[in-house]
Structure 1
Amino acid sequence: MDDLAGDTGWRGSREGWLQAAYEALIDGGVDSVKIMTLAARLKLSRTSFYWFFKDRADVLDALRARWVEATTVPLVSACREYAESGPEAMLNLLASFLSGRFDARFEFAARSWGLQDAAMAAAVGAADAERLDALAAMLGRWGHDAQDADVRARTVYLVQIGYISMRSDEPLETRLSRIPNYVEIYTGKRPAPREMARFRARLGLEP
């Protein structure tokens, strides 16, 4: 089967089928991730699917793993990035959301999926715990005691997930204007102008 995964002939490819499943999930929820629907998206035969996945459950498992890579991995990585101060460490995290490294659409779809499926709900719960642990550890490295780090981590996380769950369409510059205040609430300190300049540069914006 591994040899077939790279097949890019008329059957498509494993990544192509998985991308179609991702797009179906984003567009219509987990109920839209059906073999016939994916085949129609790709203009391929239904039987081609079985060269790459055993069944629908198999492609859902692959989607779940891809969701972790597109959300939890970049968040945890951002929490471990180099920073000169606690506020800049928090800016690193916020940049992961605003730059698109954290796939917010995938997160929204995954949480909706979890409302219908116990296995996905468990995966979401495990991701929440891992992300909160990473946030609390980051805050702990900058001098917050365990209780304070836990509460601040939850404040950060619930706000960010709230933005996603509410599908906030707040203009980018409006949100950016609030970032120094958010960082002060999250860490107890306001970011320095040079830190905000670096933050904006990471997002490809003028200082």
Structure 2
Amino acid sequence: MNRPTPTLHRDDPNAEPLVGNVKATRADWLNHARNILITDGEKQVKILTLANRLGVSRSSFYWYFKSREDLLDALLSDWADTNPGAMVRQASLPARSIHAAICNFFHCVVNPALFDTALDFAVRDWARRAPHVRARLDQADHSVISALRDMFARHGYADPEAITRARVLFYMQLGYHSAEVSEPMVDRIAQLGPYLQAFSGTDPDAQVVADFTAYALAAEKGELP
């Protein structure tokens, strides 16, 4: 899997200058470890490999992490905040209608700054081999579904309908990513109205469709603020 190499703090002209003999930050170690996790799997996340990529001594790793297991746990926490965490935050935003609320959630689908699909694949693959990762994954998935259930409840849906619609919305999105569907954004957006109708059971407001269309196209062009 081809993935851009993260920019090191010391090579970023917009970053604060490093102090003293520091050549790599904790974020540098995490960013490169995340890249290896995504491209090669968790077994290849090794201290020496990372040190070589960062151009630093192996011993400097221990300034930031107690052990390799500590680094892997930090990667899981990073994933939990950037992926399921973003979904929970988006589902919890105030919205004038259920259609606008679903579109808030859909921001994660079209904005890679909110949801890293490749990272999600990597963690789910890791969970197949590691029970403790599976437990973290199940907990995170439950938190997203609960947030979506609450989202539907705020807009007048009672259980069991609210929880069922939450599960359909969440698992559909996971399946969409897993199937690696490739289609132009304009084609995907053309289906937004029917999707909103299917997920909510009611016809969406045209303005909601227009607002999300503008957001998605801006995200595709890298024009979001």
- The CA distance in 1 between the partners of 2:126 and 2:186, in whole Å, is 31
**Cross-structure match for 1:36:** 48
Q: Describe the SS at the equivalent of 1:64.
A: helix
**Cross-structure match for 1:107:** 120
How far residue 12 of structure 1 moved from its aligned partner, in angstroms, is 1.2
Between the two proteins, the alignment pairs up a number of residues equal to 201
- The CA distance in 2 between the partners of 1:181 and 1:8, in whole Å, is 58
- The CA distance in 2 between the partners of 1:31 and 1:117, in whole Å, is 11
How far residue 7 of structure 1 moved from its aligned partner, in angstroms, is 6.0
* CA RMSD of superposed structures (Å): 1.8
**Structure 1 unaligned residues grouped into runs of 5+:** 1-5
How far residue 162 of structure 1 moved from its aligned partner, in angstroms, is 0.8
**Higher relative helix content:** 1
- The CA distance in 2 between the partners of 1:172 and 1:124, in whole Å, is 29
Q: 1:131-166 CA deviation, whole Å, 9 max, x = no partner?
A: 100001101111111101111111111111112222
**Cross-structure match for 1:83:** 95
Deviates more, 1:41-50 or 1:127-136: 41-50
**Cross-structure match for 1:47:** 59
Q: Does 1:67 align with 2:79?
A: yes
Equivalent position amino acid for 2:205 in 1: A
- The CA distance in 2 between the partners of 1:40 and 1:74, in whole Å, is 32
Equivalent position amino acid for 1:36 in 2: L
- The CA distance in 2 between the partners of 1:7 and 1:74, in whole Å, is 32
4+ aligned runs moved over 6 Å, structure 1: none
How far residue 82 of structure 1 moved from its aligned partner, in angstroms, is 2.1
**Structure 2 unaligned residues grouped into runs of 5+:** 1-17
Q: Describe the SS at the equivalent of 1:162.
A: helix
How far residue 110 of structure 1 moved from its aligned partner, in angstroms, is 0.7
**Cross-structure match for 1:95:** 107
- The CA distance in 2 between the partners of 1:10 and 1:153, in whole Å, is 46
Q: Does 1:138 align with 2:138?
A: no
How far residue 10 of structure 1 moved from its aligned partner, in angstroms, is 4.6
- The CA distance in 2 between the partners of 1:88 and 1:69, in whole Å, is 23
Q: How does 1:1-207 map to 2 (within 5 A)?
A: 9-100=21-112, 101-203=114-216, 204=218
- The CA distance in 2 between the partners of 1:185 and 1:148, in whole Å, is 13
Q: Describe the SS at the equivalent of 1:185.
A: helix
- The CA distance in 2 between the partners of 1:189 and 1:52, in whole Å, is 51
- The CA distance in 1 between the partners of 2:43 and 2:179, in whole Å, is 21
How far residue 40 of structure 1 moved from its aligned partner, in angstroms, is 2.0
Equivalent position amino acid for 1:99 in 2: N
Equivalent position amino acid for 2:48 in 1: M
- The CA distance in 2 between the partners of 1:183 and 1:8, in whole Å, is 54
Equivalent position amino acid for 1:71 in 2: N
Instruction: Considering Cα pairs closer than 8 Å and 6+ residues apart, tell me whether 1 or 2 has the greater RCO.
Output: 1
- The CA distance in 2 between the partners of 1:188 and 1:8, in whole Å, is 60
Q: Percent identity?
A: 33
- The CA distance in 1 between the partners of 2:84 and 2:20, in whole Å, is 30
Deviates more, 1:157-166 or 1:118-127: 157-166
